[in-house]
Amino acid sequence: MMGAEPLKRGGEKPPPPAHVAIIMDGNGRWAKARGLPRTAGHRKGAEAVRATLRAAGEMGIGYLTLFGFSSENWRRPEDEVTELKGLLRLYLGNELNNLHENGVRLRVIGERERFGGELARMITAAEEKTAGNTGLTLTIALSYGGRQEIVAAARSLAADAAAGRVDAAQIDEALFASRLFTADIPDPDLLIRTSGEQRVSNFLLWQIAYAEMVFVDTLWPDFGRPELEAAVRAFSLRDRRYGGVKG
């Protein structure tokens, strides 16, 4: 249960999690409940991205990672996939300057080449334009799967070991993590999933090993600052031991 916001000794609020990851779920159910096509839910979900990003920045969260499109989502109906690609194109076109002006660094992880040359080029151009920004880092996972990421990292290390560039006996967690898509950002402290579902759906499987998880009933299109603040309050009440014992 999410109670009142806890205070640190001296009346200070606890710091927010450095990195929040969100599985954005419920667009289709939101649309269905209103007698609308699923694509309407995706459009409303894009508005929720904007509101959540703004709230995260104002709350002092340094890294926000959003699960936008999984590698399994390619199996959805063609018209829905086309709509999702169009929304991504629209988001990059309409939001990029705003992100840049607010110091947001944009990163995309996943198999971007599957979106086609034009959209892949837009993604790369957006990353390059915001690469020097020092505010919040927004990472969007597109055509992404956690198992695929781990396999890619293992394949990279195996190739280097076979070529003599890496001593296989020296491979440890840190070296393995350096081959992941998220090598240059910290692991998530908090994972949020919307819509009442309680599973991680192949998202950041390595990185969330010690993340606190908060599952909320709110469908993603209705998610915003109040829901993010409630999840962060719940996070601040957790006793994070990382496998050890305190006291």
Of 204, 106, 188, which Cα lies nearest the Cα of 149?
A: 204
Q: Is 212 annotated as a binding residue?
A: yes
Q: Is 149 annotated as a binding residue?
A: no
Q: Is 220 annotated as a binding residue?
A: no
Q: Is 97 annotated as a binding residue?
A: no
Q: Is 72 annotated as a binding residue?
A: yes
Residues labelled catalytic: 25, 73
Burial of 228 from C-beta contacts in 10 A (0-12 / 13-18 / 19+) = buried
Q: Is 71 annotated as a binding residue?
A: yes
Helix (H) or strand (E) holding 70: strand 63-70
Q: Report the alpha-carbon distance of residue 247 to residue 128 in Å, rounded.
A: 47
Residue 102 in contact with residue 58, Cβ under 8 Å? no
Q: Is 42 annotated as a binding residue?
A: yes
Of 56, 224, 64, 60, which Cα lies nearest the Cα of 138?
A: 64
Q: Is 147 annotated as a binding residue?
A: no
**Binding-site residues for substrate, please?**
26-30, 38, 42, 70-72, 74, 76, 193, 199-201
**Binding-site residues for Mg(2+), please?**
25, 212
**Binding-site residues, please?**
25-30, 38, 42, 70-72, 74, 76, 193, 199-201, 212
